[in-house]
Amino acid sequence: MSRRKKKEKRAPMPAASAGLLRFFEEETEGVKVRPELLVVFAIALIAISIIGYAFFT
């Protein structure tokens, strides 16, 4: 009966995903960066590039 309950808690996987959702659920090693911080860094890099282009060309 406990096996049945465990299976019921999991949502069924879409047939067309080819296992990609299951792959990304696994924990991976490496540096963990919050998405918000990554967006801020990207915007800062764009701003620095524009300012550098404006003043040094």
Range of the domain at 26: 2-56
Q: Give DSSP secondary structure letters for 9-42.
A: HSPPPPGGGTTHHHHHHS---S----HHHHHHHH
Rounded distance between C-alpha atoms, residue 25 and residue 28, angstroms: 9
Which has more pLDDT, 40 or 6?
Answer: 40
- Token look-up 């309950």 returns 5
The pTM for the full model equals 0.49
pLDDT (tens digit, 9 = 90+) per residue, 20-56? 555 555 677 888 889 999 999 999 999 999 999 999 9
- 14 contacts: CB under 8 Å, gap ≥ 6: 21
Q: Which of 21, 46, 41 is nearest to 31 (CA)?
A: 41
Specify the number of domains making up the chain.
1
**Mean pLDDT throughout 9-20?**
59
